[in-house]
């Protein structure tokens, strides 16, 4: 026998069922969601009033009953707002049962009991979540617009500052600080456009789909959707109550934004070090060391970087929870609520912190200028010869020889003599010295998307155009 010698009798513990057929008290708390889904109280009430109105229109509720429900819910909502709503442990399993229980206490169970006619909690929670998420995403959209406005204003204000641009974290070519800012600004602007698409898909109504098979009382789903501000319906009742793609898509969107946020934060962390000194964080977004008084830590940026991992984690966890579920509603779907609440708060808070960091950041252009070195103009030297008719592959090699000579002689490239340059290639002329100018270098990159002043101003205009479409 596999378990020989082991007693299979249940051990006595405080969580054991005390009555036959009753739920284990631990199972009661394990099952209930009221302590986090109560955040949907207003959406649940709005959905219930729309439902009551639709049932009244079908003759299921009298006018007096409908008016009593509306009045009762007004009081219930006020209790939630004021913090006086008393949750009954073990009875109020979720926000739906809590609201209906309290409504019954106020207007009588005989009337309140009619409210649930033809309705399932499956469609209720799906409706509540979509209503709540739609409104939260619109708030996040406003935060993101504000952040992008600050980025655009900063890019305009700091357009004269030139700094090293990096690839592989190695100094590469001179760029405008504003160009760097807009490299992330354009990524966040794309996130803003994606968010609008996500909101459209979130804002569809499952109300009236029942548990899975639909409503038997010919309820007007279109009227309810319109009342609740939905832009359309979910067209399959089975799919509507089981769908959490709108949650996953929101978290995928948020993870993409947080990925951009993390990379932006990482750059600023590097740029704020003493070794770089390109920027300085305001005291409001940095902290001192508990041991070393000279240190000023970029905690805001480090938290943005760290919280991106948190956003990725809850998204991945939910996808694992959903991947093997059979149709239609399963209790596993309850596990979509807490990750969503956490994700939405993390993303919204992060955007606002990023806005504060950007608006209060001190830029130190003198340190940017000091970090520029003549070898970063090696490509400009190659481009110079291209304009003399030399093939680029050849000019690249020649420019490399100039770099090598500068390193060998311990001389900056711009300090090499005209004779030394002519010794490498006879096609160098005296005007070659014009190549060793950082401002000229950035101005030469004048094609759309480049780092010249005109190109950067064009990018700012594009960003403002995208923001204008959101007004």
- Asked if 52 contacts 66 with a C-beta cutoff of 8 angstroms, the reply is yes
Q: Are strands 232-233 and 204-205 parallel, antiparallel or unpaired?
A: parallel
CB contact at 8 A, 341 and 314: no
Q: What is the pLDDT of residues 223-256, one digit of tens each?
A: 999 999 999 999 999 999 999 999 999 999 999 9
Q: Are residues 357 and 421 in the same domain?
A: no
Alpha-carbon gap, residue 464 to 153, rounded angstroms:
10
CB atoms within 10 A of CB 281: 21
Q: Which of 102, 108, 101, 115 is nearest to 62 (CA)?
A: 115
- The whole-number average pLDDT for the span 345-362 is 98
If asked whether residues 176 and 244 sit together in one domain, one would say yes
Residue 422 lies in a domain: yes
In a domain, 172, yes or no: yes
Specify whether the CB–CB gap between 126 and 233 falls below 8 A: no
Out of 29, 289, 327, 397, pick the active-site residue: 289
What lies within 8 Å, CB to CB, of 391 at 6+ separation is none
* pLDDT score, position 10: 42
Based on the fold, state whether residues 260 and 365 are members of the same structural domain: yes
Please give the Cα distance from 449 to 466 (Å, whole number): 16
CATH number for the domain including 399? 1.10.40.30
Choosing from 63, 97, 117, the residue where a domain stops is 117
Quote the pTM value: 0.92
Question: Count of domains in the chain?
Answer: 3
Question: What is the domain-level CATH number for residue 68?
Answer: 1.10.275.10
Percent of the chain residues topping a pLDDT of 70: 94
Catalytic residue among 7, 12, 82, 168: 168
Please say whether the dihedral angle defined by the alpha carbons of residues 62, 67, 68 and 69, taken in this order, is positive or negative.
positive
Q: Is the pLDDT of residue 418 over 60?
A: yes
**366 and 378 both lie in a single domain:** no
**Ranges 153-157, 291-295, 399-403, 424-428: which has the least confidence:** 291-295
Q: What tens digit of pLDDT does each residue of 262-321 get?
A: 999 999 999 999 999 999 999 999 986 666 766 789 999 999 999 999 999 999 999 999
Contact 211, 241 (CB under 8 A): yes
Q: pLDDT at position 253, please? A: 98
Are 442 and 162 within 8 A, CB to CB?
yes
Q: How far is CA 85 from the centre of its chain?
A: 32
The domain containing residue 351 runs over which residues? 122-370
- Of 82, 117, 152, at which residue does a domain stop? 117
Residue 123, pLDDT score = 98
368, 179 contact by CB (below 8 A):
no
**Do 463 and 152 touch, CB atoms closer than 8 A?**
yes
CA distances 433 to 172, 204, 412, 446, Å, are 20, 64, 13, 20
Q: Is 289 a catalytic residue?
A: yes
Closest CA to 211 of 124, 129, 122: 122
Q: 223 and 103, same structural domain?
A: no
Cis peptide preceding 328, ω within 30 of 0: yes
Same domain, 249 and 338: yes
Torsions phi, psi for 10 (to 5 deg): -65, 140
| Percentage of residues of the chain with pLDDT beyond 90 | 92
The pLDDT value given to residue 295: 72
The domain boundary residue, chosen from 319, 336, 370: 370
- On whether both 221 and 348 belong to a single domain, the answer is yes
Per-residue pLDDT at 14 exceeds 90? no
In a domain, 10, yes or no: no
Q: What is the mean pLDDT of the chain?
A: 93
Instruction: Give me the pLDDT at residue 12, please.
Output: 41
- The stretch 156-178 carries a mean pLDDT of 97
State mean pLDDT over 67-84. Answer: 98
- Mark whether 64 and 194 lie in a shared domain: no
């Amino acid at each position: 026998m596999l378990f020989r010698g082991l007693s299979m009798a249940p051990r006595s513990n405080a969580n054991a069922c005390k009555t036959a057929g009753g739920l284990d008290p631990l199972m009661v708390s394990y099952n209930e969601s009221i302590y986090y889904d109560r955040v949907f109280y207003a959406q649940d009430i709005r959905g219930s009033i729309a439902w009551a109105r639709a049932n009244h229109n079908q003759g299921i509720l009298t006018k007096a009953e409908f008016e009593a429900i509306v009045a009762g819910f007004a009081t219930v909502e006020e209790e939630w707002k004021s913090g006086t709503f008393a949750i009954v442990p073990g009875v109020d399993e979720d926000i739906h049962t809590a609201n209906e229980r309290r409504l019954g206490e106020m207007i009588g169970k005989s009337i309140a009991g009619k409210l649930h006619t033809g309705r399932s909690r499956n469609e209720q929670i799906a409706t509540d979540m979509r209503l709540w998420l739609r409104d939260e995403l619109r708030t996040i959209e406003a935060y993101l617009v504000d952040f992008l406005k600050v980025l655009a204003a900063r890019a305009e204000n700091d357009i004269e500052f030139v700094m090293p641009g990096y690839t592989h974290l190695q100094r590469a070519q001179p760029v405008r600080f504003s160009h760097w800012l807009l490299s992330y600004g354009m990524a966040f602007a794309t996130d803003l456009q994606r968010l609008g698409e996500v909101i459209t898909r979130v804002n569809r109504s499952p109300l009236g789909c029942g548990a899975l098979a639909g409503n038997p009382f010919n309820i007007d789903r279109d009227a309810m959707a319109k009342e609740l501000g939905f832009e359309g319906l979910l067209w399959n009742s089975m799919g509507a109550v089981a769908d959490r793609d709108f949650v996953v898509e929101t978290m995928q969107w948020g993870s993409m934004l947080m990925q951009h946020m993390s990379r932006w934060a990482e750059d600023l962390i590097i740029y704020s070090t003493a070794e770089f000194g390109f920027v300085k964080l305001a005291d409001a977004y940095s902290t001192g060391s508990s041991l070393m008084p000279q240190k000023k830590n970029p905690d805001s940026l480090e938290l943005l970087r760290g919280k991106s991992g948190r956003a990725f984690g809850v998204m991945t966890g939910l996808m694992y929870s959903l991947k093997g579920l059979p149709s239609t509603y399963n209790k596993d779907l309850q596990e979509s609520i807490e990750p969503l609440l956490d994700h939405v708060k993390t993303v919204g808070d992060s955007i606002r912190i990023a806005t504060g960091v950007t608006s209060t950041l001190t830029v130190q252009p003198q340190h940017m200028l000091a970090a520029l070195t003549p070898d970063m103009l090696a490509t400009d030297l190659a481009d110079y010869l291209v304009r003399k008719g030399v093939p680029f592959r050849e000019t690249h090699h020649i420019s490399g020889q100039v770099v090598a000579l500068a390193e060998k002689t311990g001389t900056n490239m711009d300090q090499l003599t005209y004779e030394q340059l002519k010794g490498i290639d006879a096609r160098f002329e005296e005007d070659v010295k014009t190549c060793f100018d950082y401002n000229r270098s950035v101005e030469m990159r004048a094609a759309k998307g480049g780092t010249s002043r005109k190109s950067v101003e064009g990018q700012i205009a594009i960003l403002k155009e995208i923001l204008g479409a959101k007004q």
